[in-house]
Amino acid sequence: MSTTTSTPRGGLGAWLRAPVPQSPFQARMQALYLGWRRLRGNPPALAGAIILALLLLMAAFAPWIATHDIYAQDLASRLQPPSAAHWFGTDDLGRDIFSRIVFGARITLYIATLAALIAAPLGLVIGTTAGYLGGWTDTILMRLVDVFLSFPSLVLALAFVAALGPGIENAVIAIALAAWPPIARLARAETLTVRGSDYIAAVRLQGASRLRIIVHHVMPMCIPSVIVRITLNMAAIILTAAGLGFLGLGAQPPSPEWGAMLSTGRQFVMTSWWIAAMPGCAILLTSLAFNLVGDGLRDMLDPRHG
């Protein structure tokens, strides 16, 4: 006796393209398949996804990819241009720049991912609560959002990290506190659209509490837009993290953080350009990849885009 999740005789392709799904699992798989087709049909987004996948692999296998010890100093080889021995050259202390960029990907992804994991839920909770409850709750929370948005994100992150002190963990907290207001505003706008829907009225008539409605019925409708927004914001998060590292308020030396490496290379930019150019290109490429993927996710997750 066949189960509802088994594939028909037509094969997996026919199962994924079936006009009427026979189970929730099949419906989810069809949604993923449709999203993959949209991503495959969007070359820039696909290129961004490939870059991010390579970046994740580089960070995961950094000890095997790096060609030199990232902390070993060799003053006899300082300020060497890119060569077969040192693919991206060496810095002012003779350290291999390629190896430091490889390990620096771990720090950059750690800061960006952790900041996003804090900012996205925080903005989602505040935005949906303000949008659904309305009244004085909406007024207070949105005025708080306006206060945060009145400052540039880097300036706000600088203020928080100056109060908390330098370091990666404090930089993550500061970046997250500066990144949640746009998420909250987006979630509120989505909630204002959803809360008047018939299914929300039906759930309310069944006696569901406000908390249950917000958590189980409003937030899931806002999550796709929040995912797209936080993905697009990852570029700004990475630039803010690099800015804090550049100013000495993020990861501390001798940590191979890209912003800190860029700060070290600025004094040699006219004579040894590779010291600043290599981490700068890494920041640029990673930010661009997140932007491209964010554009692709907008098409994949937003039901209004066919």
pLDDT band at 4 (very low <50, low <70, confident <90, very high): very low
**Residue 118 pLDDT > 90:** yes
Q: CA-to-CA distance for 190 and 170, rounded, in angstroms?
A: 31
**Mean pLDDT computed over 117-136:** 91
3-state helix, strand, coil in the chain (%, to 5): 75, 0, 25
Whether residue 20 is contained in a domain is answered as no
Q: What percentage of residues in the chain have a pLDDT greater than 70? A: 94
* Residues 6 or more apart whose Cβ sits within 8 Å of residue 284: none
The total number of structural domains in the chain stands at 1
Whether residue 278 is contained in a domain is answered as yes
**Mean pLDDT computed over 192-217:** 86
Say whether 96 sits in a helix, a strand or coil.
strand
pLDDT at 306: 46
Give how far Cα 70 sits from Cα of 11, 55, 81, 252, 265, Å. 50, 18, 17, 14, 16
pLDDT at 185: 92
pLDDT at 3: 45
Q: CA-to-CA distance for 279 and 257, rounded, in angstroms?
A: 9
Q: Are 274 and 88 in contact (CB under 8 A)?
A: yes
Whether residue 4 is contained in a domain is answered as no
Domain ranges, residue 176: 58-301
Whether residue 197 is contained in a domain is answered as yes
Whether residue 13 is contained in a domain is answered as no
Q: CA-to-CA distance for 27 and 17, rounded, in angstroms?
A: 10
pLDDT at 301: 65
Q: CA-to-CA distance for 117 and 54, rounded, in angstroms?
A: 21
Whether residue 248 is contained in a domain is answered as yes
Q: Please tell me whether the overall predicted TM-score, pTM, comes out greater than 0.75 for this model.
A: yes
Whether residue 185 is contained in a domain is answered as yes
- Residue-wise pLDDT for 248-281, tens only, equals 888 888 888 898 888 888 888 888 899 999 999 9
Say whether 84 sits in a helix, a strand or coil.
coil
Q: CA-to-CA distance for 72 and 69, rounded, in angstroms?
A: 5
**Higher pLDDT pick, 20 / 110:** 110
Which CATH number fits the domain that encloses residue 248? 1.10.3720.10
Whether residue 19 is contained in a domain is answered as no
Sign of CA dihedral 74, 77, 78, 80: negative
Give how far Cα 128 sits from Cα of 12, 82, 183, 200, Å. 39, 51, 10, 14
DSSP structure class, residue 82 = S
- The chain-wide mean pLDDT, for the chain, equals 85
DSSP structure class, residue 216 = I
pLDDT at 302: 59
